[in-house]
C-alpha cells in the first residue's frame, strides 16, 4: 500500500492577499512560513550570517534582524545579499533606516506604528521606495509599545486597542495605494492575542504574522505560542508565524515547524509516537524513546514511529504507526504497519527500527 496518507484538515485558510517577502510569498495560498529573529548584533556581520545559516539549516523560512543603530543599517546590504533566506529589517524609531533597508535588498521591513509616530508624514515616501524596490512591509503592533493615544483611549492594550492601531496604520499605507504589507498584533497574554487576531481577520484581507510577544523561557513560551497559534491556525487565521522564546532562535524554529507539521499545515516529517509508560511497562520507555529519536534523527521521511512500553496495548497502539516496537520480557516486537515482522533482544530494538525506517524512507522516495 502507498505510504502517502490522506489527512483530515481543520478550517480552510482565511483568504488573504498575497505579498512577496524576498523570493517567498506570504498570504493567499502560499504555505505558512516560519520566522525567527537573530540575537547577534546585526553589525557583527560574520556572527549574524552564521546564526542565519544555522536558522536556515533548521528550517527557518524568513529571518528578521534588529536594526537599532547606523552600524546595523550599514550591515544590511551584505547580510541581505549573503543570506539564503529572505531578511526582514526590524525598524523602530528611525525612518531613515527604513529607506536604507529597502535599498539594501531586504525582503521586507518591519515598522512599529507605536514607536514611529513621526513616520506618518513619511508614509508616502516609504510607500514609493518600497513599491519601486518590490519590498513589502510588516506593520508590527506590540502591546508594549502601543500608540499612547490608543492606550489612553482604551485604558490598556486591549484587543480592540491593538487592532485599532493596526487598522489606522494600514489605512495610511493604503491611502497611498500601497497594499504589500502584513500585520501583527502581538501581546504576551494568549487570550488577548488570540482575540486581537480574530478581530483583525474580520476587518480586512491583510496577511497576518502571528506572534505572542515576550512569551517567556522555552517551556512556557512554547506552550503559550502553541496554544495561541493552534487556536488561530485551527480557524484558518495566520499566514506566517514567529515563536518568541527566551532561548536560542533555532529552538523557536523547531517549535514553529513542528507546530505546523502537527496542525497538518506543513508536510509531516518523522514523528515519534511514544507511550508515557505506566505500571505495566516492561522497559524504560523514556530512555528507549529518546534513543529511537536520536537514532532516527537523520531520517526526514514522514514516518510515524511508535515506541510502546509493553505488549498489552503496544501492538494496538502501534498499528496506527508506520513502524513501531513494543517491549516485554527483555525482547522487542517490531511492527511494520501493525504487523509483527520480527522479535529482537531489547538491546537491538533501536538498530532494528533504524534498519526498517531507512528501508521505508527509501521506498517512499521511490514512490
Ligand atoms: Fe502502559 Fe503499555 Fe500503554 Fe505504555 S503501551 S502506557 S506501558 S499500557
**Residue range 81-100: average pLDDT?**
93
pLDDT computed for residue 229 by the predictor: 98
- Check: CB of residue 127 under 8 Å from CB of residue 135: no
pLDDT computed for residue 2 by the predictor: 46
Stated pTM of the model = 0.90
Question: Atom 2 in ligand 1: which residue has the minimum CA distance?
Answer: 310
Cell 502591546 belongs to: 143
Most informative mutation of 272, 287, 309, 318 for ligand 1 (most atoms within 8 A of CB)? 309
Distance CA 275, CA 53 (A): 35
Distance 309 CA to ligand 1 centre (A): 5
Q: Is the CB of 279 under 6 A from ligand 1?
A: no
Q: Is the CB of 313 under 6 A from ligand 1?
A: yes
- Mind listing the pLDDT tens digit for each residue in 101-143? 999 999 999 988 666 666 667 888 999 999 999 999 999 998 8
Distance CA 42, CA 298 (A): 32
pLDDT computed for residue 122 by the predictor: 84
Q: Is the CB of 86 under 6 A from ligand 1?
A: no
Q: Is the CB of 1 under 6 A from ligand 1?
A: no
Question: Atom 6 in ligand 1: which residue has the minimum CA distance?
Answer: 277
Ligand 1, residue 281: give the atom nearest the CA: 7
Outline where 189-341 has alpha helix (H).
190-201, 218-234, 249-262, 285-295, 314-319
pLDDT computed for residue 315 by the predictor: 66
Q: Is the CB of 284 under 6 A from ligand 1?
A: no
Residue 203 scores a pLDDT above 90: yes
All cell numbers assigned to 248: 536560542
pLDDT computed for residue 288 by the predictor: 92
pLDDT computed for residue 26 by the predictor: 98
What percentage of the chain carries pLDDT values higher than 90? 73
Residue 1 scores a pLDDT above 60: no
- Mind listing the pLDDT tens digit for each residue in 349-361? 999 999 999 999 9
Ligand 1, residue 282: give the atom nearest the CA: 7
Distance CA 36, CA 79 (A): 15
ipTM exceeding 0.95, yes/no: yes
pLDDT computed for residue 149 by the predictor: 87
Most informative mutation of 274, 276, 284, 288 for ligand 1 (most atoms within 8 A of CB)? 276
Distance 104 CA to ligand 1 centre (A): 56
pLDDT computed for residue 248 by the predictor: 95
Cell 502581538 belongs to: 186
- Mind listing the pLDDT tens digit for each residue in 205-234? 999 999 999 888 999 999 999 999 999 999
Outline where 183-262 has alpha helix (H).
190-201, 218-234, 249-262
What percentage of the chain carries pLDDT values higher than 70? 95
Q: Is the CB of 339 under 6 A from ligand 1?
A: no
Distance 274 CA to ligand 1 centre (A): 9
Average pLDDT over the chain reads 91
**Residue range 57-77: average pLDDT?**
96
Question: Atom 3 in ligand 1: which residue has the minimum CA distance?
Answer: 313
- Check: CB of residue 221 under 8 Å from CB of residue 188: no
Ligand 1, residue 311: give the atom nearest the CA: 2
Amino acid at each position: 500500500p502507498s505510504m502517502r496518507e490522506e489527512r483530515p484538515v481543520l478550517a480552510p485558510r482565511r483568504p488573504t492577499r498575497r505579498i512577496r517577502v524576498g523570493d517567498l510569498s506570504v498570504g493567499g495560498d502560499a504555505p505558512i512560513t516560519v520566522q525567527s529573529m537573530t540575537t547577534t548584533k546585526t553589525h557583527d556581520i560574520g556572527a549574524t550570517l552564521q546564526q542565519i545559516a544555522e536558522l536556515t539549516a533548521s528550517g527557518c523560512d524568513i529571518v528578521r534582524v534588529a536594526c537599532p543603530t547606523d552600524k546595523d543599517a550599514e550591515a544590511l546590504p551584505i547580510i541581505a545579499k549573503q543570506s539564503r533566506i529572505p531578511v526582514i529589517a526590524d525598524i523602530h524609531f528611525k525612518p531613515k533606516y527604513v529607506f536604507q533597508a529597502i535599498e539594501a535588498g531586504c525582503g521586507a521591513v518591519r515598522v512599529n506604528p507605536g514607536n514611529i509616530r513621526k513616520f506618518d508624514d513619511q508614509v508616502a515616501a516609504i510607500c514609493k521606495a518600497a513599491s519601486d524596490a518590490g519590498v513589502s512591509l510588516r506593520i508590527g503592533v506590540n502591546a508594549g509599545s502601543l500608540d499612547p493615544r490608543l492606550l489612553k483611549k482604551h485604558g490598556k492594550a486591549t484587543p480592540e486597542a491593538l487592532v485599532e492601531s493596526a487598522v489606522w496604520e494600514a489605512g495610511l499605507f493604503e491611502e497611498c495605494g500601497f497594499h504589500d504589507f502584513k500585520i501583527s498584533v502581538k501581546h504576551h497574554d494568549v487570550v488577548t492575542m488570540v482575540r486581537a487576531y480574530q478581530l483583525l481577520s474580520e476587518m480586512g484581507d491583510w496577511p497576518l504574522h502571528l506572534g505572542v510577544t515576550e512569551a517567556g523561557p522555552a517551556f512556557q513560551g512554547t506552550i503559550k505560542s502553541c496554544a495561541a497559534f493552534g487556536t488561530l491556525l485551527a480557524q484558518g487565521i495566520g499566514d506566517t508565524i514567529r515563536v518568541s522564546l527566551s532561548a536560542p532562535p533555532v529552538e523557536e524554529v523547531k517549535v514553529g515547524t513542528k507546530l505546523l507539521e502537527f496542525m497538518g499545515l506543513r508536510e509531516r516529517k518523522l514523528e515519534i509516537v511514544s507511550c508515557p509508560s505506566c505500571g505495566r511497562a516492561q522497559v524504560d520507555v523514556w530512555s528507549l524513546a529518546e534513543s529511537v529519536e536520536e537514532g532516527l534523527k537523520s531520517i526526514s521521511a514522514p514516518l510515524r514511529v511508535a515506541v510502546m512500553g509493553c505488549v498489552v496495548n503496544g501492538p494496538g497502539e502501534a498499528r496506527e504507526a508506520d513502524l513501531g516496537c513494543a517491549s516485554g520480557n527483555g525482547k522487542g516486537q517490531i511492527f511494520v504497519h501493525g504487523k509483527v515482522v520480527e522479535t529482537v533482544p531489547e538491546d537491538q530494538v533501536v538498530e532494528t527500527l533504524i534498519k526498517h525506517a531507512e528501508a521505508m524512507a527509501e521506498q517512499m522516495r521511490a514512490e
